[in-house]
Amino acid sequence: MNLFPRCDRSPAWAALQDHFRLEGRQFDLREAFAREPRRFEDWSLQAPEVLADLSKNRISTATLQLLLQLARDCGLEAQREAMFQGEAINHTEGRAVLHTALRAPQGQAPHGDEVQASLQRMLAFAESVRADDRGFSDVVHIGIGGSDLGPAMVVQALQSCVKPGLRLHFVSNVDGHDLAGVLRDLKPASTLFIVASKTFTTQETLANARAAKAWFLQQGGSDIARHFAATTSNAQAAAEFGITTTFGFWDWVGGRYSLWSVIGLPIAIAIGAAGFRELLAGAHAMDGHFRGAPLARNLPVLLGLLDLWYRNFHGFGSRSIAPYHQGLRRLPAYLQQLEMESNGKRVDREGQVLPYATSPVVWGEAGTNGQHAYFQMLHQGTDVIPVEFIAVRQPDFGAHVQGALRECLQDQHTKLLANCLAQSQALMQGKTEAEALGETAPTASRTLATQALARHRSFPGNRPSTTLLLERLSPRSLGALVALYEHRVFVSGALWGINSFDQWGVELGKALCNRLLPRFASGDGGGLDGSTAGLLAHLRGPGPEVSA
């Protein structure tokens, strides 16, 4: 029996529907700023390591009060506490959800002793790999999904913290071009491979691991035990592969929440034990904020409520992530899995089909690249797409950047920040046809053609955005930012009444793939649908003739 009501079964849901019809649908951000001189101060919030400006969102005090009541009606606080206490909230798999325990100091979360013992062992190994006498210049991490996206994103974001002379590579795609491109310039004697698979059965990961092993032996490598390690709970399978150094973890560590565990080994190798502990500390600080701050001043809660308001009342089907920092260019891909795998569900916890939408499509690109790609649609397209801008106040170009180069890059950083602020301003303010017409032609020379041109140059505005500001991109601030997104996803999932911690939707395709693989050898198309059988036959055929 579900102890927590779904959002649509709360009295606040009906009140929100009336409120949206009477006020929310017509809400205009420009008018809101005109009548609320302190709107920025009232709608900005300092959380650990993150300043959030929510003022450019289509939300009023009345809207917020109704959303907060909805959260209370759905037992959000009790659901939150159940997660922190280690209750089996992933009910379809009978598991607790305790990624927060991975970053908690000893004694402040369940499983503290075993978590700390695992962490210390992993960090000790990471430091040994970093030691100059080991001779490792390259680390190749082989995983997929949560075993890849989190570590790859963090290492890329914290490049300024990576030990000089140490190169980290990430291979995930079963497409052999991924691994081949990485191996091209490597030497076996100075390369360490890390195979990340909880069960040591993941098809894509094991295919790449076997290929890496074949390359290693072909190139003259001989000591598999020294050059291969694994983050897995299946030590026996790893040993059969030839790996003796393994790091296990628990079933309450979900894949997309696992970078804080031994899956974070490549992060620890890249930034060192002290840096990894800072990453954990930043996340733990955000955990404390989420668990302890009042709902009305709780940033993950406010963002989750906004997500529900936009998805279920405004009908906005996607959200764009625009990080204005090159180091965060893989953050949108990481967030795609975090949110869409967590909340891309069509039934509630009791298995009933939902009458409302859940996860939006999450997508994006680093600024300013995105401005020259898809921002045209954000500003003038037919769909309203909320945008999340992420900016970093102080750059860190590295100690090697000095003198005139530093001045040039500092100037570029100022331009980057100006672009970030300008885009959110433009989305909100827009430009009327009258303003565009005034720019196009003097009053005396206005024609139907110039009026049409002005329409092309006008912007509707009133397009919402959130801006998240970090002081600098450091292990601590990145840890807080990622934890913020984790908890925000929890909030919206809890209100929608879904299980955010299973992912059965990825299983069917995997099962069908395993059944199709033997058919590539046999050519047997029996029992397949016409499309799949036809494509299989074409892929097995000789291919088109190539003319001389």
DSSP-based helix, strand, coil % in the chain, nearest 5: 55, 10, 30
Structure-block tokens of residue 327:
């180091």
Cis peptide before 201 (omega within 30 of 0): no
Residue 358: closest CA among 323, 308, 392: 308
Tokens coding 289: 């904020």
Quote the distance between the C-alpha of residue 18 and its chain's center. 34
Q: What is the dihedral of CA 339, 340, 341, 345, to 10 degrees?
A: 110
Report the alpha-carbon distance of residue 465 to residue 459 in Å, rounded.
Answer: 15
Structural contact between residues 140 and 212, judged by C-beta atoms closer than 8 angstroms: yes
* Cis-peptide, bond into residue 368, ω within 30° of zero: yes
CA distance 269 to 126: 5
Helix-helix angle 265-292:76-85, to 10 degrees: 140
Residues 187, 372, 415, 456: which is the catalytic one?
372
Catalytic residue chosen out of the listed positions 49, 278, 339, 341:
341
- What is the full DSSP assignment across 295-328? GGG-HHHHHHHHHHIIIIII---EEEEEEESGGG
What is the spatial order of strands in the sheet that 50-53 belongs to?
44-47, 50-53, 465-472, 387-394, 318-324, 361-364
Which residues contact residue 497 at a Cβ distance below 8 angstroms, ignoring those fewer than 6 apart?
Answer: 2, 4, 5, 6, 7, 74, 348, 349, 354
Active site residue 510: yes
Number of Cβ atoms within 10 Å of the Cβ of 376:
10
Distance separating alpha carbons of residues 115 and 103, to the nearest angstrom: 9
For residues 480, 486, 491 and 495, what is the CA-based torsion angle, rounded to 10 degrees? 170
Helix (H, G, I), strand (E, B) or coil at 219: coil
Q: How do 228-231 and 361-364 pair as beta strands?
A: unpaired
- 140 touches 171 (CB < 8 A): yes
- Six token digits for residue 377: 């649609």
Contact yes or no for 395/160 (Cβ under 8 A): no
* 227 has catalytic annotation: no
CB of 103 closer than 8 Å to CB of 284: yes
- 379 in active site: no
From the candidates 187, 415, 456, 510, which is the catalytic residue? 510
Quick check: 30 and 461 in contact, CB under 8 A?
A: yes
Q: Are 353 and 423 in contact (CB under 8 A)?
A: no
CB 343 within 8 A of CB 498: yes
**Phi/psi at 291 (5° precision):** -80, -30
Burial class of 169 by CB neighbour count within 10 A (0 to 12, 13 to 18, 19+) = buried
Active site (catalytic) residues: 341, 372, 510
